[in-house]
Amino acid sequence: MNTSATPLVVADGLHRAFHVARGADPVVAVDDVSFTIEAGEALGLVGESGSGKSTIARILAGLERADSGSLRVAGIDRRTVGHGAAARLARARQVQMVFQDPYGSLDRRLTVEQTLTHAMRLHGLAGGRDAKGGAAELLERVRLSATQARLKPYQLSGGQRQRVAIARALAVEPAVLVLDEAVSALDVSVQAQILELLDEIRRESRISLLFVSHDLAVVDEVTDRVLVLFGGAVVEEGRTQDVLRKPAHPYTRLLIASVPGPGWDPHDVIARRAAFELSRSDAST
């Protein structure tokens, strides 16, 4: 990989706070987070609920704004792009997102083929027959049949719906694909098929992935590098296989020890958690 060139994604000092109630302190969801993603690289985000991983994913996808910090994709600043329809479309073309719930993220009135042709037409990528041909190619890439192209979401299984969501994201040929818990709701065998599909897509193209998951084993399988988030901040980062096997930060160690496996004991996890909280409060006083 050419490391001298500027990475595809450069996020620097991202910050995001939410005002939850009048008079209450804002909740800091993302606290000075910086990262890069090279073309063709897969970056993982791990951490517990509320650690900020989904907010970061949504900022990259343009669904959420950062209060401060900068975010550049292929050299273009995502924060200064205009608000008009054309600017929004340009932003959406660079980065596409796949969500956890394939039931909620597809238009239930559209067939699979229509879902894909709409996405292509919206971005002016294909018209008329071309769109149909494009849809057929996409379906082949995600291993769905021509028969399934005529079905609507309710006629598909969860795994098939997630394939459609991935195909729709690929329809606009994005540089970055953001996956937020995209395989978490799937059975293990279906999950394995989707992970294999992602692997194929990465080998075929130079697409970059931002992969958000609470499942460390899945992150281990999919990503090259990982950021560990706690309370909105990055506490550890590095090559995924190193971070998950030789964690340096106490929070990463806690996260790994909490995952059920041989010798796992819930009381032990609680004791570790308490020790971690205590060490943090000691450090801050």
Residues 111-130 that bind other proteins (CB under 8 A): none
Among 84-92, 146-154, 225-233, 264-272, the segment contacting other proteins (CB under 8 A): 264-272
For residues 171 and 228, which CB has a smaller minimum distance to other proteins in the complex? 228
For position 86 contacting other proteins by CB under 8 A, the verdict is: no
> Quick one: which of 31, 48, 64, 101 contacts other proteins (CB under 8 A)?
48
For position 19 contacting other proteins by CB under 8 A, the verdict is: no
The torsion defined by the Cα of 149, 150, 151 and 157, in degrees rounded to 10, comes to -20
Judged by DSSP in three states, 6 sits in coil
Among 71-79, 144-152, 228-236, 256-264, the segment contacting other proteins (CB under 8 A): 256-264
Q: How far is the CB of 110 from other proteins (least distance, A)?
A: 24
Q: How far is the CB of 231 from other proteins (least distance, A)?
A: 13
Residues in binding contact with other proteins, number by CB under 8 A: 36
For position 267 contacting other proteins by CB under 8 A, the verdict is: yes
Structure tokens at 135: 């849809």
Q: How far is the CB of 262 from other proteins (least distance, A)?
A: 7
For residues 140 and 187, which CB has a smaller minimum distance to other proteins in the complex? 187
With b for 16 or more beta-carbon neighbours within 10 A and e for fewer, the 103-135 pattern comes to eebbeeebbbbbbbbbbbbebebbeeeebeebb
With b for 16 or more beta-carbon neighbours within 10 A and e for fewer, the 215-254 pattern comes to ebebbbbbbbbbbbbbebbbbbbbebeebbeebeebbbeb
Contact 29, 232 (CB under 8 A): yes
Neighbours of 82 (CB within 10 A): 10
Residues 208-227 that bind other proteins (CB under 8 A): 214-218, 220-221
Structure tokens at 166: 């991935």
Rg (CA), the chain: 20
Determine the Cα–Cα distance for residues 178 and 74; give it in Å rounded to an integer.
15
For position 260 contacting other proteins by CB under 8 A, the verdict is: yes
> Quick one: which of 241, 248, 275, 278 contacts other proteins (CB under 8 A)?
241
For residues 140 and 277, which CB has a smaller minimum distance to other proteins in the complex? 277
Among 47-55, 87-95, 102-110, 131-139, the segment contacting other proteins (CB under 8 A): 47-55
Determine the Cα–Cα distance for residues 138 and 155; give it in Å rounded to an integer.
19
Q: Which residue, among 193, 212, 189, 185, has the nearest Cα to 56 in the 3D structure?
A: 212
Q: How far is the CB of 264 from other proteins (least distance, A)?
A: 4
Among 64-72, 110-118, 169-177, 183-191, the segment contacting other proteins (CB under 8 A): 183-191
Where along the sequence are the contacts to other proteins (CB under 8 A)? 48-50, 158, 187-192, 195, 214-218, 220-221, 241, 244-245, 254-256, 258-264, 266-267, 269-270, 273
